[in-house]
Amino acid sequence: MNKLISIIVPCYNQAHFLGEALQSVLNQTYANWECIIVNDGSPDNTKEVAGNWIKKDRRFKYIEKHNGGLSSARNAGIKVSQGEFILPLDADDFIHEKFLEKLVPELENDNSSAIVTCYSKFFVDNKTNIVHELKPSGSTYRALMFENNIIATSLYRKSCWELAGGYDETMKNGFEDWEFWISILKRNWNFKVVEEFLFFYRKSKKSMLLDTLQNHRISNMEYVFNKHKEIYKDNFENTIKYMFYLLNLYQNKNNKLESSKEFKLGKAIINPIKKLKNR
C-alpha cells in the first residue's frame, strides 16, 4: 500500500479555513501523498496562506488560475497531479487522520471499484457541534440516480476521471460531483463505502450547497437527466415514480405556504395595491 495519492484543494475566498483543511492532510497516517492547492482567482490571501504550507512540507504544491468555478479548479489541479488515485477536498472541510489509511486499500484490493467513500459528519463552527450525519449506501449508479449518495470528498481512480472527461465545467450552480459520479459509475464501475466517520463537512448559512438546493435543484436535475438519459430510459418506471414524488412534495409545500397566516396576510396587503395600479 504505497500508491501516490493526489489531494486537490480548490480555494476561493476560503483562506481563513484553508489551514485547517491542510492540517488534516498533513496529519494523515498514510504518508505517500501530494496536495495541490488551486487558487481559483481568489481575491483574498489564499496565495500567502498556501505559501506558508509549501514551506512546511514539500508535498504541498500550489497553482493559480482565473476564476472558473469549482469544476474548473478541480480539473486544473488533477491535470497537473501525479497520483494514481485522486481525492478532492474543499478548503473549508477536513478529513480524519486515518482517512487515506482506511480508504486507499479498498481501491487497491478491488479492481471493480472506481470510488470509495465513507460516513460523514456535518458540523457548524467546530467539529464537536455536529448537526447531521450522512451514511451512504449502495454500490452502483442506481443508488445515485435520483439523489446523490456520495460526498464530493471521496477517493477515486484518476483513470476514471479521464474516462468521464473530468468534472463538467458548465455546471457552475452545484451538483457537479453528482453528475461526475454518474458519469463514472454508468460505465460498469462500482463504489464502496467505508462505514466509519472519516470526513467532516462544514455547514454554513451561505454555503454553495444551500444555494443549490434552494435555487438550482430542479434545473440541475434536468441537466443531469438529459445528459445521462440512457440510464433514466432504462429505469423508466422508477424515474416516473420519482418525478411524481417531487411533484407531490412541491405541491404539498405550496399548499402549506398558501394556508399559512403569513401568506394570507401578505395577499391581503398586496391585492389592494394591485387594484390601485390597475386603475
Out of 15-19, 137-141, 157-161, 271-275, least confident range: 271-275
| Average pLDDT estimate for 90-112 | 97
In the predicted structure, residue 236 carries a pLDDT above the cut 60: yes
Residue 249: pLDDT band by 50, 70, 90 thresholds?
Answer: confident
Looking at 185, 206, 227, the residue that finishes a domain is 206
Q: Is residue 46 part of a domain?
A: yes
What's the grid cell of residue 77? 489541479
| 187/181 Cα distance (integer angstroms) | 10
- Split into its structural domains, the chain has a count of 2
| 248/258 Cα distance (integer angstroms) | 15
Q: Is residue 211 part of a domain?
A: no
HEC letters along 157-175? EHHHHHHHCCCCCCCCCCC
Out of 62-66, 111-115, 267-271, least confident range: 267-271
173 lies in the same domain as 53: yes
144 lies in the same domain as 33: yes
Looking at 206, 228, 250, the residue that finishes a domain is 206
Strands 126-134 and 113-124: antiparallel
Looking at 184, 206, 228, the residue that finishes a domain is 206
154 lies in the same domain as 16: yes
| 147/142 Cα distance (integer angstroms) | 10
pLDDT, position 268: 46
172 lies in the same domain as 249: no
121 lies in the same domain as 194: yes
Report the CATH number at residue 177.
Answer: 3.90.550.10
Out of 65-69, 111-115, 214-218, least confident range: 214-218
pTM, two decimal places: 0.86
| Average pLDDT estimate for 10-28 | 97
In the predicted structure, residue 83 carries a pLDDT above the cut 90: yes
Contact residues for 36 (Cβ-Cβ < 8 A; gap 6+): 6, 7, 8, 9, 61, 62, 63, 77, 80, 81
Strands 85-88 and 155-157: antiparallel
Q: Is residue 149 part of a domain?
A: yes
pLDDT, position 121: 97
Mean pLDDT of the chain: 89
| Average pLDDT estimate for 32-36 | 98
> What SS3 class is residue 44?
coil
Q: Regarding predicted confidence, which is higher, 217 or 137?
A: 137
| Average pLDDT estimate for 119-136 | 94
| Average pLDDT estimate for 252-275 | 51
pLDDT tens digit sequence for 153-193: 999 999 999 999 999 999 998 899 999 999 999 999 999 99
Domain extent at residue 33: 5-206
Contact 188, 128 (CB under 8 A): no
266 lies in the same domain as 195: no
242 lies in the same domain as 193: no
> What SS3 class is residue 246?
helix
19 lies in the same domain as 122: yes
Within the chain, residue ranges assigned H as helices are 15-26, 46-56, 70-79, 99-108, 158-164, 176-185, 208-215, 217-227, 229-234, 236-258, 261-277
- CA of residue 273 relative to chain centroid, distance: 44
> What SS3 class is residue 59?
coil
Q: Regarding predicted confidence, which is higher, 258 or 23?
A: 23
95 lies in the same domain as 155: yes
* Cβ density class 11-47: b for 16+ within 10 Å, e for less: bbebbebbebbbebbeebebeebbbbbbbbbbeeebe
Q: Is residue 217 part of a domain?
A: no
pLDDT, position 252: 72
113 lies in the same domain as 184: yes
In the predicted structure, residue 205 carries a pLDDT above the cut 70: no
Q: What are phi and psi of 162, to 5 degrees?
A: -65, -45
Which bin fits 138, alpha (ψ -120 to 50), beta or left (φ > 0)? Answer: left
Q: Is residue 248 part of a domain?
A: yes
pLDDT, position 269: 46
Q: Is residue 18 part of a domain?
A: yes
pLDDT, position 212: 59
What's the grid cell of residue 94? 477536513
Q: Is residue 218 part of a domain?
A: no
pLDDT, position 217: 83
Q: Is residue 101 part of a domain?
A: yes
172 lies in the same domain as 270: no
pLDDT, position 80: 98
pLDDT, position 84: 98
270 lies in the same domain as 199: no
